[in-house]
Amino acid sequence: MLLASAGAGLVDAIVGGGGLIIVPSLFGLFPQAVPATLLGTNKAASIWGTGWSAWQFAKKVRLPSRRLLGAIGAAMLGALLGAWLATQVPASRFRSVLPVVLAAVWVYTLWRKDLGQHHTPHLSTRQETLLATAIGASIGFYDGIFGPGTGSFFVFAFVRLLGWDFLHASAAAKRLNFATNVAALAWFIPQGHVVWALSLPMAVANVAGSSLGTHLAIRHGAGFVRHAFLIVVGALVLRTAWTAWGQ
């Protein structure tokens, strides 16, 4: 689990999607555990790597922080609602849809070779704020109820809808992902859905992987992040398709 957590931290720091490494590992090792407990344990570990990555990005990548406040608040509310619903609805309902959505994202990104290569925001301040808030609410809800691939969805949404490059989108995704993890844990922890003896060692490994991933993303820029995005999302399509249909 420590190796999986470190790998998830590295991938998540660059383009998101680390949950699709940790979550299947947790479900595979603890098949009899309550799904909500495994999701809560994952978030209790990954929040440290996400927070570290967000802080590292903040020192190097300039973002319109005020415009993201609404998105952060909406993402937290969406995640809190999703986390509650995760205790009511089986996560398996999302597994069959996820590979299709990820495949669409991958094909579109591959087809649009210029997508995310240049940072060219094209909306007014008000429009960008409202759209970022809608992105935060919708993907935040998904993160709370299921989670895997959340960071990748945030990155893609900021690139496609706001015209940001992959580096800025990844930096913003870390802030929103951290916020959704905080909100989800606000539900999971009081309900006892975190195994601390497992999540704390995983958190240390996750921070180590996240530190390396953030360094690589900042050093090599948007082009590197775009290529990593295609590789990771392509792998996630295969992984989620096998989980949903192959078994």
In this predicted model, what pLDDT tens digit does every residue of 162-176 receive, in sequence order? 999 999 999 999 999
Q: Quick one: which of 118, 109, 106, 169 has its CA closest to 139?
A: 169
How high is the pLDDT of residue 90? Answer: 64
Report the number of distinct structural domains present in the chain: 1
In this predicted model, what pLDDT tens digit does every residue of 68-97 receive, in sequence order? 999 999 999 998 888 788 777 666 666 677
**Of 106 and 137, more confident:** 137
The residue type at 222: A
DSSP label at 96?
T
With a CB cutoff of 8 Å and minimum separation 6, the contacts of 105 are: 152, 153, 156, 233
In this predicted model, what pLDDT tens digit does every residue of 6-60 receive, in sequence order? 988 888 888 877 777 787 778 778 888 887 788 889 889 999 999 999 999 999 9
DSSP label at 194?
-
- Please give the residue range of the domain that contains residue 235: 2-246
User: How far from chain centre, in Å, is Cα 82?
Assistant: 14
Four-CA torsion 133, 57, 48, 10, nearest 10 degrees: 110
Structure tokens at 176: 């929103």
Average pLDDT over residues 111-134: 86
> Radius of gyration (Cα) for the chain, nearest Å?
16
DSSP label at 118?
S
What values do phi and psi take at 215, rounded to 5?
-60, -45
